[in-house]
Structure formats: C-alpha cells, structure tokens
Structure 1
Amino acid sequence: MYRSQFKACHKSRIAPFIAAFVFTALFCCAQAFGASPDLNLDKNGLALRGYDPVAYLLNNRAERGDSDITAEHAGATYYFASEKNREEFLRDPRLYEPHYGGFCAYGVAVGQKFDGDPEVFAIVEGKLYLQLDRATQTIWKSELDKNIAIADRTWPVIKPIPAAALNE
C-alpha cells in the first residue's frame, strides 16, 4: 500500500513540471518557426483570411482584400480592398486589428482558440470580434457584455499558449 501511495504522490508532484515542459516546448517551437500564438494566421502569416480589416469598421461589412495591396503589422500580413484603406490602417493599426488576435471571441470566453470566421463578425464599441460560426455568434450575443467581460479576463491567460495546445 505504501508503494502505491508513493507512486500516486510522485505522479501528482511531477505532473505540473511535465505540463510546464510541454507548454514551453510547444511555445518555443511555435516561436522558432515564426508563428505567433496570439494571432490567428494562416501558414503564410495572413490575417483575417485576406479580408480587409478597415472595411469592417468603416463600412460595417466583411470585404475581401486585394493581395496586391498589403501591409505588415505585428507579425501579420493584412490585405486591403483599396490603397485608401491600407493608408488608414497604417495610421493606427491597433484600431483595426481583430480583437483576441482574430480568434473566435466566444471561444476565448471558454478558454479556447477557435478559428474566427471573417464573415461572422460584430463591431462592439469600436472593436472587431470574430466568431467560429453563426450559431456560436448567437450564443455569444445572447449575453454579450458578460461574454466580453469573461473573454477579456481569459485572453491574457491563454494569449501566449498556441491554439493546438489549448484545443486538444
């Protein structure tokens, strides 16, 4: 009996160290390959699947950007529908970046990083929020203020963790 209690105690004591090691390894590997765990980007570093971040706030619609009109910001590439939108973005990129790095806002509220669909969005107090899909958006909007408050508290905790590690 002593031996089994020792094994259980030993396992419970090393589990946090193993988890920390795995997290560190995943984080370092992601950083080594240029991936940023706090941004929802495709394999080429493209944000918003190529949609224009400025069009959301100025026109309240999802509009595809042109791959010939681009800007880089904080490790992400953005496409724009016009040079005017690109210039507007470059004046203050933080105004137009998707909240929670472009991950699904409801997913962040529940501690996950799901892909945000650029066509399923909401502008709330000047911030762009994406959702996984329309059904998720309906749930998120049903208690909008509460879900944003929870996600705002959760985001700093999960921000540095790669999506693959969170969504296992």
Structure 2
Amino acid sequence: MHRRHLLAGAQHPFAVIVGCIDSRVPPELVFDQGLGDLLCIRTAGQVLDEAVLASVQYGVEELRIPLVVVLGHERCGAVAATLEHLRTGAPVPAHLNLLVDEITPSARRTRALPGDWAEHTMTAHTRWVRDAIRADPAFRRAHVAAARFDLDTGLVSVLP
C-alpha cells in the first residue's frame, strides 16, 4: 500500500513491455517487478496497431522510458491460430483477421525451416515487431530489444 501511495502522484517505469495477452505471461511477474516499474502494452501475439504504437510512444516520449522490450513466448495462441488458418485455409472470424494478417508474413518466411514451425514463427514475428519499432523515428531515443519467454522454465532470453 505504501508503494501505491508513492506512485499516486507520478509514474517512472524503467521499461515499456510490448507483450502478448496470454494469461501465463504477465510481464510484472515474468520480470519480477512491482507496481510502477513497467509500462505494459499487451495484444494477442504482440501484434502492432496504431494504439500500440501510440502507447509505446507515450512511454518513450512522455515518460522518458529508455527501454522497449518486445516479449514473445512459446506456445502462443495467436501464432497457433495463424498456422491453423494457413494449414487449412479456413476463414478467420471477424477481428481475428488483424492477428492473422500481421503474423502470416513471419509464418510464411519460416515455413520451410526444420523444426517447430510455431516456434520459428513466434521468434520471427517478435523480431519483426522489434524491428518495426526500431525503424520508427518516434522511438529513436529508446533501446528496443526482443526477448522470448519460456513457459516451461520461466526464463527470458534476449533474441539476436
């Protein structure tokens, strides 16, 4: 309660986390951080849209946060739904089209790689989101990194 009262007047998070909505991957718990430490922006499959980019920009420009981390994770449901659509050609319901449209290029680029297509897709998509944020002049003042959360071990590894 004391920390909440200290933060009531202003916030000073040290990192923006662009992560997935998966209930198994709450950034504050993944990184062992508390109230006010992280500015978390979560969408299924950490898919970018204008609201996400505006939120990241708010953190970087208005709150002067120096670090943006794009956090992917294994066994991502948004990636699995995209791969299922690509395998079967089944129609994608309504708003889920945005997710499938954003993740599909990574899935197509990694389809021929040996090993786990879902893992390769998640990694490629996480890197793509990182690179898209890095390339945007609005985020020049921040360091932008990509990372992968392992659901089985609880470890986070930085992606090259």
Q: TM-score, normalised by structure 2?
A: 0.25
Q: Which has the higher contact order (CA 8 A, sep 6+)?
A: 2
Structure having the higher Rg:
1
